[in-house]
Amino acid sequence: MIQTKLAKRIASGCVSFLLMAAALVPSQIQAAGSYPLYCLYNPNTGEHLYTLYSNERNALLRYGWRDEGVAWNTPTSGWYVYRLCNPNTGDHHYTMDEDERDYLTRIGWRDEGIGWASPSLGWEDQATAQGRPVYRLYNPNAAVGAHYYTTSAREVNALHRLGWRYEGIGWYAL
């Protein structure tokens, strides 16, 4: 019974990889030169998943994920934000850091390629960076859904008070 529930969680978490591979281009353009980046929430695992693809979003909604709308807009080109999936838990992780991507891949995470673009590097000073910062937080008490990304400083502060660790700016959004 427990193995069946875990298998369903992993399948619903990683089904996005298959759907993303089938989608060649984002299905909807938000504004000239940008795409909306959708956020979904899995109430079974606590994971937030971010995707450019409305067909991936729609498929995950059929698996019980909750639509949280457009998280932010992303440029059509820029610096790469990589998307990875842990095949054991179905958890996804996003990073601009190639060393972090390579390390996670070496320890068993699946590299799902480029998730989207950032107009500036994640480690640029906010005063010189283009776009608005996307903050990265880590929940040390979560096995799945341990990272969360938001453009809201208010949300960062609220989660920090609840025990989440602030990890800085992950990248920038439009």
> Is pTM, for the whole model, over 0.85?
no
Backbone angles phi, psi at 74, to 5 degrees: -125, 145
Q: What's the domain range around 118?
A: 2-173
Q: Which two tokens stand for residue 52?
A: 């450019």
The distance between the two most distant Cα atoms of the chain, rounded to a whole number of Å, is 53
Read off the amino acid at residue 72.
W
Check whether 170 has a pLDDT greater than 70: yes
Would you list the DSSP string of the chain?
A: -HHHHHHHHHHHHHHHHHHHHH--S-S---BTTEEEEEEEE-TTT--EEEES-HHHHHHHHHTT-EEEEEEEEEESSSEEEEEEE-TTT--EEEES-HHHHHHHHHTT-EEEEEEEEESS-TTS-TTT-SSEEEEEEE-TT-SSS-EEEES-HHHHHHHHHTTPEEEEEEEEE-
Calpha distance 65→38 (Å, rounded): 12
Calpha distance 156→77 (Å, rounded): 27
Please write the tens of the pLDDT for every residue from 49-100.
Answer: 999 999 999 999 999 999 999 999 999 999 999 999 999 999 999 999 999 9
How many folded domains does the chain comprise? 1
Query: To 5 degrees, how large is the angle CA 130–CA 136–CA 140?
Result: 170
Q: Which two tokens stand for residue 107?
A: 């320890």
Please write the tens of the pLDDT for every residue from 103-160.
Answer: 999 999 999 999 999 999 988 888 889 999 999 999 999 988 899 999 999 999 999 9
How deeply is 72 buried, as exposed, middle or buried, from its count of CB atoms within 10 A (0-12, 13-18, 19+)?
buried
